[in-house]
Structure 1
Amino acid sequence: MATWTVYLSGEIHTDWRERIERGAADAGLDVAFSSPVTDHAASDDCGAAILGAQDRKFWHDHLGAGVNAIRTRTLLERADVVVVRFGEQYRQWNAAFDAGQAAALGKPLITLHPPEHDHALKEVDRAALAVAREPEQVVAILRYVVDGRLP
């Protein structure tokens, strides 16, 4: 089978992406990863930096959301599997939106979050095919679906 493409969406303040990428490499998986821009300032300011400064914060954010959506939509559509991480520190509206888009596109979805988010994410988790607590569980899922190997 060809290389699997896995889109890693969500929280940008911890090392969960690196743990998944390192684990997949250590397992020898034929997997390529993609993600949104994880530089918070660049993501927030990309629209105004490219298309021009705005007088109102609403329009500044609106431009950035549009430019970021070009990347997000394209990479979500190309993904074989989508992993969405909901972190503990911030409300992750963008992550929930990405999970909804993945579900609407019929993409296999794995959510990654602590148990204390279970109630708040019950609808998102219902759409997911797996709910993981740790990045290493995501690696184990990928190992199984890509190569048919259990940990």
Structure 2
Amino acid sequence: MIWTVYLSGEIHTDWREQIAAGAEAAGLPVEFTSANTDHESSDAAGDFLGKPENNFWRDHQSSKVNAIRTKTLLEQCDLAVIRFGDKYKQWNAAFDAGYCAAMGTPYITLHDEDIVHPLKEVDAAAMAWAKTPGQVVELLKYVTA
């Protein structure tokens, strides 16, 4: 079986690449999917429909266009890894975690220890909490064996 793993969350570090490289090096039967990780093009996802003058409506329009991809890929994945970084509030990642929990899709959270408290509800529904991409790879080795 090939596992589809959705990688959700912060876009400012190379954690996705680290997990993909580790999985490839271990020969794991996984394929990875993700939201658009290019901030600028994500913000402009709906602009081709007509760019609203008000930023609220631009964000609203683009978030709906982005949700076509996100919703579809989350619904198709076997497992999600949801990364919370330390620089920005990742409300989209928290939303993805809640969506996974509601669908019954297992997910792993990936974050540092210093944000355990604000993520307590998100972590409570997770199947595991990892602190490093390497730990995620080890979890993938175990669950795909």
Question: What's 2:28 paired with?
Answer: 29
- Which aligned pairs between 1:103-122 and structure 2 lie closer than 5 A? 103-122=101-120
Structure 1 letter corresponding to 2:49? L
Question: What's 1:19 paired with?
Answer: 18
Secondary structure of 1:9's aligned partner: strand
* 1:55 is the counterpart of 2:34: no
Secondary structure of 2:12's aligned partner: coil
Structure 2 letter corresponding to 1:142? L
Q: Which runs of 5+ in 1 are unaligned?
A: none
What displacement does 1:115 show? 0.2
What is the TM-score of this pair, normalised by structure 2? 0.99
- Which aligned pairs between 1:1-151 and structure 2 lie closer than 5 A? 2-48=1-47, 50-147=48-145
What displacement does 1:82 show? 0.5
Structure 2 letter corresponding to 1:98? D
Q: Percent identity?
A: 59
Secondary structure of 1:107's aligned partner: coil
Structure 1 letter corresponding to 2:21? R
Show structure 1 runs of 4+ deviating over 4 A.
none
Structure 2 letter corresponding to 1:24? A
Q: Which runs of 5+ in 2 are unaligned?
A: none
Secondary structure of 1:53's aligned partner: coil
RMSD: 0.5
Structure 1 letter corresponding to 2:94? A
Secondary structure of 2:70's aligned partner: helix
